[in-house]
């Protein structure tokens, strides 16, 4: 099973943190081994233009604190990193892939449970696209299908799975042409985003599920590479 891990070149400590947790059957690919505009500390407007990246008009005058501000450079780098992971995954022919951010904490039974969880979900819905392994719900869930939850709007891109078909669907959105935070993009892909402008640009297209209970969480003691990273005017 292939896992794609979002990791910055300057955060080898986090790379070690993830490697120590990964099950032995994973074939891990780290973004820190690639080149690209993924580190918010070095992002500039010129860098984005050089790579053909345009930002969606994100800042909105409203009471929602996640929307009434420009995207941070860390959010931009994170979103680009997810996109590059999807592009890399598309070069393989596996039925599904795992995507992890480097501050993830894998549950004690993660490695043992994951293959069986995927098998049971595939038996339930062979056309599934997205499976949350960790998330933070922001709206009521849509219900249950067997042991799985049909998620409502949820933040959290620290641990999820995509089918190969889902990877192709995400790449078809041309995400870098109207980049938004990955935490907002992923839920827009399976439910009607509460912002009309986002909903219009990114209509839902994925069949999404969540494990219950969650298999992954965020290791907050590692700090954040996204917060306080500044923004690009």
pLDDT digits (tens, 9 = 90+) for 133-143: 999 999 999 99
Residues above pLDDT 90, as percent of the chain:
89
What is the CATH T-level fold of the domain 2-222, as seen in this structure? Answer: Spore Coat Polysaccharide Biosynthesis Protein SpsA; Chain A (3.90.550)
pLDDT for the residue 63: 85
The model's pLDDT over 34-88, given as tens digits with 9 standing for 90+, comes to: 999 999 999 999 999 999 999 999 998 888 888 999 999 999 999 999 999 999 9
Residue 226 has pLDDT above 70, yes or no: no
Write down the mean pLDDT value for the chain: 94
In the predicted model, what is the mean pLDDT of residues 85-110?
97
Provide φ and ψ at 26, rounded to 5°: -80, 140
At 13, phi and psi to the nearest 5?
Answer: -60, -40
Tell me 231's DSSP state.
Answer: B
pLDDT at residue 62 in the model = 85
The Cα–Cα gap between 180 and 169 comes to: 17
Q: Determine the pLDDT at residue 230.
A: 57
Alpha-carbon distance of 120 to 100, in angstroms, equals 21
Q: Which of 20, 21, 19 is nearest to 109 (CA)?
A: 21
Cβ pair 18, 29 in contact under 8 A: no
The per-residue DSSP string of 82-115 comes to: HHHHHHHHTTS--SEEEEEETTEEE-TTHHHHHH
pLDDT attached to residue 208: 98
Exposed/middle/buried for 157, CB within 10 Å: 0-12, 13-18, 19+?
buried
The mean pLDDT of 12-19, rounded to a whole number, is 96
What Å distances lie between residue 203 and 106, 126, 157, 178, CA to CA?
31, 22, 19, 13
Of the listed ranges 66-70, 153-157, 184-188, the one predicted with least confidence: 66-70
Q: What is the pTM of this model?
A: 0.94
Does residue 224 surpass a pLDDT of 70? no
Mean pLDDT, residues 113-117: 97
| Separation of alpha carbons 67 and 60, rounded Å | 6
Interatomic CA distance for residues 181 and 63, integer angstroms: 18
**pLDDT on residue 61:** 86
> Residue 187: is its pLDDT beyond 80?
yes
Percent above pLDDT 70 for the chain: 94
The domain ranges of the chain are 2-222
């Amino acid at each position: 099973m292939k896992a794609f891990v979002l990791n910055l070149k300057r955060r080898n400590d986090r790379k070690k943190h993830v490697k120590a947790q990964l099950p032995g059957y994973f074939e891990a690919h780290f973004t820190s081994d690639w080149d690209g505009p993924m580190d918010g500390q070095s992002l500039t407007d010129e860098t984005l233009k050089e790579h053909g990246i345009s930002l969606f008009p994100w800042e909105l005058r409203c009471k929602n604190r996640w929307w009434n501000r420009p995207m941070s450079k860390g959010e931009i780098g994170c979103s680009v990193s997810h996109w590059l992971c999807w592009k890399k995954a598309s070069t393989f022919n596996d039925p599904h892939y795992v995507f992890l951010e480097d501050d993830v904490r894998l549950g004690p039974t993660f490695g043992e449970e994951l293959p069986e969880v995927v098998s049971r979900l595939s038996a339930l819905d062979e056309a599934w696209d997205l499976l949350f392994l960790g998330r933070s719900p922001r709206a009521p869930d849509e219900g249950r299908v067997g042991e799985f939850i049909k998620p409502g709007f949820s933040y959290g891109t620290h641990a999820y799975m995509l089918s190969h078909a889902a990877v192709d669907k995400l790449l078809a959105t041309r995400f870098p042409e109207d980049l938004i935070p990955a935490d907002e993009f992923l839920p827009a892909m399976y439910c009607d985003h509460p912002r009309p402008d986002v909903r219009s640009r990114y209509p839902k297209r994925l069949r999404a599920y969540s494990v219950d209970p969650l298999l992954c969480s965020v290791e907050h003691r590692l700090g954040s590479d996204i917060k306080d990273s500044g923004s690009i005017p």
